[in-house]
Amino acid sequence: MLFASCKKDETRAILKAPASPKGFAASTSQIVLSSANDSAVVAKFSWEAADYGFPAAVTYTLLFDVPSDTSGATGWANAMKVTIATDSLSKSWLGTDLNHLLNQMGLDPGVASTVVVRLKADVNQSTGAASTVSSIFSDLPITVTPYHVVLIYPKLYVAGDFLNPNWTQKDQPGWILASVKSDGSYEGYVNFPNANNNFKLCTQLDWNGTNYGWGASGTTMSGSGSAGNLWFGGPGYCRVVADTKDLTISYDAEQFRIAGDFNGWSLSATPMTFDASTNLWTATGVSMTAGDKFKFEGNGNWTAELGWDSKSNLIFGGGNIIAAKTGTFTVTLDLSQAAGNYTFSAK
């Protein structure tokens, strides 16, 4: 009896990681953003498929950062990250989406700034576990000019004895209320500097429109030409809500702080300081991790918080804000442009 055996030849794929992704390019190296190109594709980033020597599933990530944050031991730690669908080889940006990302980075509006865009490629394991293959990168500098979106809503202008010049209507930050829904309900934040603050709310930048003054009580208004002055006993920084249909007015004195995941949602750990000369609230040395949730809280009992709406607009009573980057920041809150145009930055 004769026995024979055979040996099966096995072919194994050998992974050969390239030095960097090839062909990383942008459709333009200079991007100037404005409301006119909000709905247009303003940039497209594209690249060639990374060749690892076998058909590997590759995930690409785009990172955006300023040049000063791209070197050293903590280089790219503060970058904005955008994950691309597996094996996709391009990413296009509408003007409004890119402008939102650049504003989150804290870039100055109306100023041309250099941004470094990094393409990061990673091999996925079939089990879903983290890959043991080192990431590869390719960097690309571009020049971008973001813009600040200021929406125009119906306004009421503050005129009072605490302004300079006094009793003069001002279309300036800190002295306006706005009606976001154009429904007669106006909201804004006013810093009343004195123990006794007399004022009126005016529909025009002169005395020729309707000028709302004292009604039957401190919480009501009158549009009569003979109405007395509205009055608030300060000093105090207040959220003011005036309803020209119901002829009511309310004042809520507020002192802001930041509360979130990073400080255990403490209402005392991260207070903010108000600067009357700039109308800005500021907190320094705020350490957060990308993805942390937080809010701005005004009165210490969670009935006066500011957060995001569904479009990441900062509003009274909004939901959680999501930290865009990891790092230690100076956080600035600007409520001076009235409802609909509240903003903050973390730099």
What is the pLDDT averaged over residues 327-343?
Answer: 95
The confidence score (pLDDT) of residue 265 equals: 97
Residue 2: pLDDT above 60? no
**What confidence category does residue 14 fall into, taking pLDDT thresholds of 50, 70 and 90?**
low
More confident residue, 2 or 343: 343
Q: For the chain, give the mean pLDDT.
A: 90
Residue 206: pLDDT above 80? yes
The confidence score (pLDDT) of residue 5 equals: 52
Least confident interval from 14-23, 123-132, 157-166? 123-132
The confidence score (pLDDT) of residue 134 equals: 87
CATH topology of domain 25-145: Immunoglobulin-like (2.60.40)
Pairing, β 136-145 against β 30-32: parallel
Residue 146: pLDDT above 80? yes
The confidence score (pLDDT) of residue 108 equals: 85
**What confidence category does residue 7 fall into, taking pLDDT thresholds of 50, 70 and 90?**
low
Same fold, 25-145 and 155-253: yes
The total of other beta-carbon atoms located within 10 Å of residue 117's CB is: 22
Its CATH class, for the domain covering 155-253, is mainly beta
Dihedrals phi, psi of 306, to nearest 5 degrees? -115, 135
pTM: predicted TM-score of the whole model, two decimal places: 0.68
| 111, 45 Cβ separation under 8 angstroms | no
Residue 327: pLDDT above 80? yes
What is the pLDDT averaged over residues 315-343?
Answer: 94
Beta bridge partners of 189: 239
Helix extents (H) in the chain:
95-104
**What confidence category does residue 12 fall into, taking pLDDT thresholds of 50, 70 and 90?**
low
The confidence score (pLDDT) of residue 127 equals: 61
Burial letters 316-338, b for 16+ CB under 10 A, else e: bebeebebbbbbebebbbbbbbb
Residue 190: pLDDT above 90? yes
Q: Domain spans of the chain?
A: 25-145, 155-253, 257-346
More confident residue, 104 or 326: 326
The confidence score (pLDDT) of residue 73 equals: 85
What is the pLDDT averaged over residues 276-305?
Answer: 95
The confidence score (pLDDT) of residue 285 equals: 96
**Separation of alpha carbons 195 and 302, rounded Å:** 27
More confident residue, 114 or 80: 114
User: Of 59, 172, 169, which is closest to residue 120 (Cα–Cα)?
Assistant: 59
The confidence score (pLDDT) of residue 9 equals: 55
**What confidence category does residue 81 fall into, taking pLDDT thresholds of 50, 70 and 90?**
confident
pLDDT in tens, 236-283: 999 999 999 999 999 999 999 999 999 999 999 999 999 999 999 999
- Please, which residues have CB within 8 angstroms of residue 319's CB and are 6 or more apart in sequence? 307, 308, 309
The confidence score (pLDDT) of residue 51 equals: 86
pLDDT in tens, 42-80: 999 999 998 887 777 888 999 999 999 899 888 898 788
